[in-house]
A and B are shown apart, each in its own frame.
Chain A
Amino acid sequence: MLRYILQRALYALPLMLVIIVVMFTLLHLIPGDPVQALVGDYPVPPAYRQAIEEKYRLNDPFLTQVWNYVTAVVQGDFGYSYQNQRPVLSLILERAPRTILLASVGFAFAIPLGMAIGVITGTTRSSTTDKIWTTSALIAYAIPTFWLGQLLVMFFALRLGWFPTQGIGPLVSRAHGFDWILERGRYLALPALAFAIHEGMRFARIMRASVIDTLSQGYIITARSKGLTRGQIIRRHVLRNSSLPLVTVAGYAFGSALSGAVLLETVFTWPGLGLLMVDSIRLRDNLTVVGVVIFSAVAVVLMNLLVDILYAMLDPRIRTGG
């Protein structure tokens, strides 16, 4: 098992390297003169241009620049954000935990929700129960997250006043300990709920298909002939076996969620990576954009690694066969 994990981790390394190189190349291909972008709408003095080009080694051969960038990134140097007047890495490290928090809480609710609906609909296939749940889930999934977010805000925040409309916390907080968590939780509730509903409905659809497939397997007939009850069969033989596809999908979805739920973060003004990304694109803060993209790519690769490991833990055939 340990050998398997190390092997998978080793495969991930070159992939990350390629991602960094590709991202830098794309950055290089973006039209526009970086020196001009620094100066703004004003002719660049030749001396200044030369100074900048020397300072940032813009005239080095492309491959040298790639090498310098890669070694810098590996050492944790993602460059400097001129718009925010601070290193890109510190920006990312400030924003990432917020996005991870939102995604984690969202998934913590989305996965059980999706599994529950998937099992309910999959085991009662074609019944009225199935039709009601499946249709509701499809409608909920079809609602765009930003609109769903707005609906939640209108109802729970504006009409009922249970939750704040936006932001990550109050400007001034005097709460400590558990109260502080409760206070933050109120801000987290609505974006996490919108997230959980959307992802949960997607998981429900996958889980339903997987449950139906599992129920058609021979070992379910064996379980029935053992005299197991319906509940015992579902708990012991259906749940784990039909979770396998969900692990893949949820893992990948979580990986991409770490790059920030752009729309949700915008609706709720949740200052995570998604919002950082949108702002940086708007302000042409290219190094920050690339930094966020590399961070997200690494997150996706790491999640894939985690999915592989989880998969091997859930399915013994992969451990010995692969």
Chain B
Amino acid sequence: MTASQSRRPGLTERLLDVHNLKVHFQVSDRTIRAVDGVDFHVRPAECVGIVGESGSGKSTLVRAVSRLMPNLRINELSGDLRFEGRHILEMSERDLRALRRSHGFSMIFQDPLGYLNPTHRVGRQIAEALSPQGKGRPDGQRVHSLLQEVGFSDPKSVAHSFPHELSGGMRQRVMIAIALASDPKLLFADEPTTALDATVQLQVLQTLYRIHKERNMAVVIITHDLGVVAELCDRVYVMQTGKVVETADTVDLFERPKHSYSARLIELSAHRVDFRSAAP
């Protein structure tokens, strides 16, 4: 943790700054307050965890921040959201696309199979993220180097595969490669390992952690697994029913949880795996 601190451009600088974010959905005649007045920020090159059980609003939070909202009736979407000082919610589609295409933020998801197009080869899907104009070559050098970066020793054959021909862990690596194509400053990882086998989870997290360090890229990990948070994240936000109930440095949270909900989450997460020491 000290290592990552020393590499930060400045402790007070904020890459992402969110104030009083509210996301309310209309489901039939009820209003769901998925996110209800959340403050949260991410510093450059920092790893932040957002924990909470299903339905606590953590996924909606990052979807709203990255402006990738699901197709539900949104009643209210408000707040002061800034990425590098620019207001995200007021940004035009064009500016938003530019931000997604280069040096902005990217996202990876829980279910990599559903988030890859089944009818396109992997190489093409990565090339498309490199150059949305469609000029990127699916078997080009940049595609191969991205695949190598996420841990594939045989990028050529992976680039030529269809998503269904790969394993779950391989697919998630491909998702990471797609996310890295835009050279983002911030990567949102929405439950990146929930759908994977335990051993594969470890490998994917190791890859994620290594890239986070090598690229000095900020990462926001959403998870209900405190073990992941304990090993990866510098700071943690604990969410419950659409609100942040506690925020702390990871070490502090585990040693002195202030909120009873956090204490219970820690109690419940028994297993902790050390994957910082293991080579990816």
| C-alpha gap A223/B107 in the complex (Å) | 11
Known interface pairs A221-B109, A317-B164; A228-B97 also in contact (CB < 8 Å): yes
Mask of B102-129 contacts with A, CB within 8 angstroms, 1/0: 1000110101001111111000010011
Number of A-B contacts (CB under 8 A): 82
Known interface pairs A236-B134, A316-B162, A320-B164; A241-B117 also in contact (CB < 8 Å): yes
**Contact indicator B117/A237 (Cβ below 8 Å):** yes
Known interface pairs A218-B109, A227-B182; A320-B117 also in contact (CB < 8 Å): no
Known interface pairs A216-B71, A316-B164, A321-B164; A226-B119 also in contact (CB < 8 Å): no
Contact of B106 among A225, A316, A317, A320 (CB under 8 A): A225
B132 at the interface (CB under 8 A from A): yes
| C-alpha gap A321/B165 in the complex (Å) | 9
Q: Report the minimal beta-carbon distance from B106 to chain A, rounded to whole angstroms.
A: 6
Which residue on A lies nearest to B117, using beta carbons?
Answer: A219
| C-alpha gap A82/B114 in the complex (Å) | 61
Q: Report the minimal beta-carbon distance from A318 to chain B, rounded to whole angstroms.
A: 10
| C-alpha gap A200/B115 in the complex (Å) | 31
Which residue on A lies nearest to B107, using beta carbons?
Answer: A225
Contact of A241 among B68, B119, B179 (CB under 8 A): B119
Which residue on B lies nearest to A221, using beta carbons?
Answer: B68
A222 at the interface (CB under 8 A from B): yes
| C-alpha gap A241/B118 in the complex (Å) | 8
**Contact indicator B117/A225 (Cβ below 8 Å):** no
A53 at the interface (CB under 8 A from B): no
| C-alpha gap A281/B36 in the complex (Å) | 72
* Residues of chain B within 8 A of A217, CB atoms compared: 114
B91 at the interface (CB under 8 A from A): no
**Contact indicator A218/B66 (Cβ below 8 Å):** no
Which residue on A lies nearest to B109, using beta carbons?
Answer: A218
B178 at the interface (CB under 8 A from A): yes
**Contact indicator A320/B119 (Cβ below 8 Å):** no
**Contact indicator A226/B118 (Cβ below 8 Å):** no
**Contact indicator B115/A229 (Cβ below 8 Å):** no
* Residues of chain A within 8 A of B181, CB atoms compared: 226
Mask of A203-224 contacts with B, CB within 8 angstroms, 1/0: 0000000000001111101111
Q: Report the minimal beta-carbon distance from A235 to chain B, rounded to whole angstroms.
A: 9
**Contact indicator B115/A218 (Cβ below 8 Å):** yes
| C-alpha gap A67/B188 in the complex (Å) | 70
**Contact indicator B97/A227 (Cβ below 8 Å):** yes
Which residue on B lies nearest to A314, using beta carbons?
Answer: B119
Which residue on A lies nearest to B161, using beta carbons?
Answer: A316
Most buried by A among B118, B119, B132: B119
Mask of B52-91 contacts with A, CB within 8 angstroms, 1/0: 0000000000000010100100000000000000000000
**Contact indicator B164/A222 (Cβ below 8 Å):** no
B101 at the interface (CB under 8 A from A): yes
A interface, over-half SS: helix
* Residues of chain B within 8 A of A240, CB atoms compared: 119
| C-alpha gap A229/B109 in the complex (Å) | 21
Q: Which of B206-250 contact A (CB under 8 A)?
A: none
**Contact indicator A226/B178 (Cβ below 8 Å):** yes
B24 at the interface (CB under 8 A from A): no
* Residues of chain A within 8 A of B100, CB atoms compared: 224-227
Q: Report the minimal beta-carbon distance from B91 to chain A, rounded to whole angstroms.
A: 12
Which residue on B lies nearest to A228, using beta carbons?
Answer: B132
**Contact indicator B128/A226 (Cβ below 8 Å):** yes
B98 at the interface (CB under 8 A from A): yes
**Contact indicator B128/A236 (Cβ below 8 Å):** yes
Q: Report the minimal beta-carbon distance from B206 to chain A, rounded to whole angstroms.
A: 23
**Contact indicator B134/A232 (Cβ below 8 Å):** yes
* Residues of chain B within 8 A of A219, CB atoms compared: 114-118
B99 at the interface (CB under 8 A from A): yes
| C-alpha gap A218/B68 in the complex (Å) | 11
Contact of B68 among A215, A225, A317 (CB under 8 A): A225
| C-alpha gap A175/B97 in the complex (Å) | 57
| C-alpha gap A294/B106 in the complex (Å) | 58
* Residues of chain A within 8 A of B102, CB atoms compared: 227
Known interface pairs A219-B115, A225-B100; A317-B162 also in contact (CB < 8 Å): yes
**Contact indicator A317/B128 (Cβ below 8 Å):** no
* Residues of chain A within 8 A of B117, CB atoms compared: 219, 222-223, 237, 241
A315 at the interface (CB under 8 A from B): yes
Q: Report the minimal beta-carbon distance from B187 to chain A, rounded to whole angstroms.
A: 11
15 contacts between A and B (CB under 8 A): A218-B111, A219-B117, A222-B109, A222-B115, A222-B117, A222-B125, A225-B107, A226-B128, A227-B96, A227-B129, A228-B97, A228-B132, A232-B132, A241-B117, A241-B118
Where the two chains meet, the residues of B that have a C-beta atom closer than 8 Å to any C-beta of A are: 66, 68, 71, 96-102, 106-107, 109, 111, 114-120, 125, 128-129, 132, 134, 162, 164-165, 175, 178-179, 181-182
Where the two chains meet, the residues of A that have a C-beta atom closer than 8 Å to any C-beta of B are: 215-219, 221-229, 232, 236-237, 240-241, 314-317, 320-321
Kindly list 11 other residue pairs between chains A and B, CB separation below 8 angstroms, not including A226-B128, A227-B97, A241-B117: A218-B109, A221-B109, A222-B175, A223-B128, A227-B98, A232-B132, A232-B134, A236-B134, A237-B117, A315-B119, A320-B164
The 10 closest A-B pairs by CB, nearest first: A227-B100, A227-B101, A218-B114, A218-B115, A219-B117, A227-B97, A226-B129, A316-B162, A222-B115, A225-B107
